[in-house]
Structure formats: structure tokens, C-alpha cells
Amino acid sequence: MMYDVCIVGTGAGASGVAHKLVEAGMNVVMLERGGFYKEEDFSKDELAYCKREIVTPSFKDSYHTIETQESGKWVKSSTRDTERTYFNGNIVGGSSNFMSGYFHRMKPKDFKLASTYGAIDGANVVDWVSDYKEFEPYFEEVERLVGVSGEVTHFEHHEPRSTKNFPYPALDEHPISAKIDDACKKLGFTPYKTPRAILSKAKGKRDNCYYSNYCGSYGCSSGAKGSARASLLQPMLGKKNFSIITHAFVKKLVEKEGKVVEALYVDTKTKEDKRIKAKLFIVAGQAVESSRLLLNSKSKSFPNGLSNNAGQVGKNLLFSAGGVGSGQFDEDSMALNKLMVEGLFVNRSLCDWYFYEEDGKEVKGGIVDFLFQHANPMTQATKQRFDNGKLLWGKELQDKIYHKLNKTKQLNFEVFNDWLPTDNCFVSVDDKYKDAYGVPVANIRIGAHKRDLEVGEYLAKKAEDVLKKMGATEVKSSISPAPPPNLQAGGCRFGDDPKTSVLNKHCQAHEVSNLFVTDGSFMPTGGSVTYTWTIYANSFRVGDYIVKNKNIWI
């Protein structure tokens, strides 16, 4: 069968473009490496989702090699040894099923960092070939279709909006949010009410949030979370021009005469090799795996990988810079008798230093999000085994676990600032390291720019000030060059020059006219926000472009 469009992946970058193309009547097939979990399939099983990671490939089937710098040398290790996966939710909807749903828009200056702030030694910062004005209508479309709840809080660096508020009211807040507000006001900070891609009211067949206390790292059993699966893909099921093939790991895209003609994939259940033919191909498998696929799709015309004759595929990989911090609150010592109420959201951020002054000039900063420690009781209980180095057991351990789980709350914060693109952060492949299907795995070199740490530490200090003003004890933070593996972008950056970019403004490959890449790979810089909202918006944007010009391909 010949499809109009074959999309590799089913996450945020795949679902928006799929929605547009299916609505326009194009015959679309999506290939997903994992299975199809629906609301009734998700559980709050901490072992399954946080310890054994049942929704990512087993290490015996696939893995990554990681290069980090040690004593001035690059040292390679295998994730089979470290058991730290860089796969993120290999199921329909991808990692969007497991996000916490913090949705912050990029700011207008984020699109023009190079021209606004100039070059940074050791970093490959460039302006985007698009701007905030072009993206704004798509940010708004994501709010409506994916579903964003919140209340617009104005602050010095707030981005322009075409609508006055979010389409869904803010989610119910935990009483500690008011304590954060009070502390911020005393410090002269602006407490920002965090918008979330979680429904406060039902939408279609999706129920509103029921405040289960299991959100980040867990699939949503109500459909309230704005995953690609719940918000965009499931509503299209049953349409004759739309299908999803699960357990389909794409090994290679086959190119002939400058165009992709088919995708070769293996059915991971039967181990059988299969093929999909289409007129147009869209890759959206998350940044690391998308670069890996193109690098492994070699041909006579592209001996170094598909659309890689300029050697740019995999380059300028982005994660998110920053880190985490925390403070402890005890119900008995805090003037908040409802501290232990479960399930309600904190939904507070600090955005005052998205841009800030340093040595008399403005520099790029970032944001801080506050949240409670994830509701993982086994993890919390395990951490109580020691007291000042002394191993506890019996009643002493029992009492400590009881107090931790029933009398205290740990308020965390997460710092997000730009991961500067450099020559030492990229994806490559090596024939020496292959997965169970004989395909070279992705090698990820992780090199952080020193500026990432400087900005992260500046922001962490502001967050610590808030926790201390609130009366928290054991306030601490950790800003590290080790990135969160779930926040990936770059590797196939878009641009006007085919010598320095892989994709054009519309995320179409410079060298292969019927190939698009629509996950976060296109991003030359990431802003100081989580990437999901921008990826969704871009996916809608590219979808509109393809529909407008579909006669070229279809």
C-alpha cells in the first residue's frame, strides 16, 4: 500500500502534524516503537514506571553509549552498565505521557539570542529562522487543542499574547502556594502562576484532573494530561485515513534519487522485517533517536547518513541546563495545618530572571518551577535507612518512615536555563556498538558550556531565598552539567544555509525534498523552558505548511 504520509514517532512533534494532515484528508500512517497504552492501562505502580521503566526498551534490546569528559579526556560508557536510559516513553504519545506538564512559552528574544546578546565563546548560538510572531498563533492553538489550564500572571518579561487568558481555569492549588506568594512578596519577587497542560475541566472524552498525586513520571488515567496520545491521536482513531502501527522500530529510511521511498522497520514482537511506502516522510522520534535514524540511513547519495552531506546531522544537540533543589517542611513546626493534604498542585514559578543584569548589561537567564517531591513512597521510605551515617532498623526506622510520609513535605524546585549548543554535544553512530536488531546505537557526547552552570547557580540561589523565607529547613540545591535525559532537542537544526543546518525554515530537509523532521531536533537553541509546548506549536506550524503545499508531494 502507498500512503500519502509516513510519520516515524507518535509524540508531541508527530501528533500536531498528524492532526493537521489527517484533517486535510491525507492518508497518514504513524510508526511507533512501543505499544498503545490507554487511560485504563496506566497505574500508579512505582516499580513499573520509576524503577523498571516498562515503557522503554530493555537494555538487552537497545542502549546508548555516552561520552563524558574525565580528567580532560572523553570516556565512553554504555547505558547497559549505568542503567540510565535516554529513551523516553516508547509508547503511543511518547514522553508526553509522562511529563509534569509545565507549559511556559519561549519569549521573543529567545528566537534572536545571537543578534540580541552577541556571540558566546565556545558556543554555537544562532538566531532562529522564524520568530515569536510566527509561533504565537500556534502556541494559542496548543492551549485550545491540547488543553492548557492556568491564569496569566504578568511579569516584567512576559511574552505577548493574542488572548487574555488560558482556555481552562487554573488547577486547584495546595495551601503552600500561598506561602510561596507571601515569601516572594517579602523578597520583592513576582510569584508566577504556572500554566499546566492538564485539564481543570473535561474536554470531549477526556476527564478533568482528579488530583491523584501521581503526575510526573506516570501516565494519566483520566486523560487530563495533555499527552499527544490523549489530546490529538486518540480522537482520530477510527478515521479511515489514519492508522498507527505499534511495535514498529524503524531501522532505516531508504532514499532513491534524492527522495525517501520507504521506511524499513522491524516488528519488535515477531522480529519480522517490514516496509512502508509513502510519498512524504516525517521523522519525530525525539532528538537523539531521530539523528540516529538519519545517520544510519546511508545510501550512495548520502554515504554519511540521510541529508548529512554537510555533516550537520546530530550536531548541536541540546538538553536543558540547570538542576534541582529542595527544602523540608514539618507539619508540627509550620503554621499550616493543611500541609499534608495530597494531590493539589503547587503551580508556582519564578520568572523574574528570565533576563537579568550582569556587570551592567542584560544577559539571558531562566526560570524556576516549584513542586512537591514526587509521590513515590518506596523511594522516600528507602532514603530513611540512615541517620547521620547510622543504619536504622526496627522501631527507630519505622518511626522515621512514618514521620517522613505523614508529617513532612519536601518542596522541590527545578531550574531551567539554556543549554548552550557546542561542538562537544552531539549524536554519532559507531558500527562497533549495535542493538539487538543489528542497528548501530546512538553515541551521545555530553559536553556542557561553563555558562550553563553559572546561570543555573544564580537562579538556584533565588529559589533557595524563597524556601528560607518560607521557613524551610535543610535548604539545598545542585546545579550540574549532567543533563536530564528526558529534555532533548537539536541535532537537526533548521536554518537558511544548507552548509550549517539540516532543515529549512519549514523543517524540510535541505537535501531531501520529501523529508521533514518535526520533533525538537529542529531547535537551534531551546529557551529557558521545557521544550514540549514549542515542539507542539512547531508541529502544528509545519502541518499547516504541508497542507498548504500538499500538491507538491501528494
Give kind and range of the element (H or E) at residue 329.
strand 321-330
- Under 8 Å between Cβ of 305 and 294: yes
Whether 531 has a pLDDT exceeding 70, the answer reads yes
- Summarize the confidence of residues 463-486 as an average pLDDT: 94
pLDDT of residue 233: 98
Q: What is the dihedral of CA 267, 229, 36, 294, to 10 degrees?
A: 20
- Under 8 Å between Cβ of 416 and 367: yes
Neighbouring residues of 277: CB distance < 8 A, sequence distance ≥ 6 = 1, 2, 3, 6, 261, 262
Number of H helices, E strands in the chain: 12, 23
Q: First CA to last CA across the chain, in angstroms? A: 15
Structural domains of the chain, with CATH: 2-552 (3.50.50.60)
Unique residue bearing C-alpha cell 510519520: 7
Unique residue bearing C-alpha cell 509534569: 100
- Summarize the confidence of residues 269-288 as an average pLDDT: 97
Cell digits of residue 288: 537523539
For the stretch 188-202, pLDDT in tens is 999 999 999 999 999
- Summarize the confidence of residues 134-142 as an average pLDDT: 98
The rounded percent of the chain whose pLDDT value lies above 90 is 82
Using CA atoms, how far apart are residues 179 and 219, in angstroms rounded to an integer? 29
- Under 8 Å between Cβ of 493 and 503: yes
Cell digits of residue 6: 509516513
pTM for this structure?
0.96
Whether 335 has a pLDDT exceeding 70, the answer reads no
Cell digits of residue 18: 498528524
Return mean pLDDT, the chain: 94
SS3 224: coil
Q: What is the dihedral of CA 463, 467, 470, 472, to 10 degrees?
A: 180
SS3 132: helix
pLDDT of residue 51: 65
| Selection from 346, 384, 322 nearest residue 526 by Cα | 322
Tell me the Cα Rg of the chain.
23
Instruction: Give backbone dihedrals phi and psi of 160, rounded to 5 degrees, phi first.
Output: -65, 145
- Summarize the confidence of residues 83-91 as an average pLDDT: 90
> Which residues does residue 8 pair with via DSSP β-bridges, in sequence order?
31, 283
User: Given 3-state DSSP classes, what are the helix, strand and coil percentages for the chain, each rounded to the nearest 5?
Assistant: 25, 25, 45
> Which residues does residue 444 pair with via DSSP β-bridges, in sequence order?
66, 427
| Selection from 418, 425, 443, 423 nearest residue 433 by Cα | 443
Cell digits of residue 477: 540545591
For the stretch 19-74, pLDDT in tens is 999 999 999 999 999 999 999 999 888 777 776 678 888 899 999 999 999 888 99
pLDDT of residue 390: 85
Q: Which of 48-57, 337-346, 497-506 has the highest mean pLDDT?
A: 497-506
Unique residue bearing C-alpha cell 540561589: 461
> Which residues does residue 316 pair with via DSSP β-bridges, in sequence order?
none
Using CA atoms, how far apart are residues 405 and 375, in angstroms rounded to an integer? 10
Q: Within 13 Å, how many C-alpha atoms sit on residue 421's CB side?
A: 28
Q: Output the CA torsion sign for 193, 170, 233, 20.
A: negative
Q: C-alpha angle with apex 393: 389 to 397, nearest 5 degrees?
A: 85
For the stretch 397-434, pLDDT in tens is 887 788 788 788 899 999 999 999 999 999 999 999 99
For residue 421, CA distances in Å to 109, 293, 315, 317, 321 come to 17, 21, 9, 6, 11
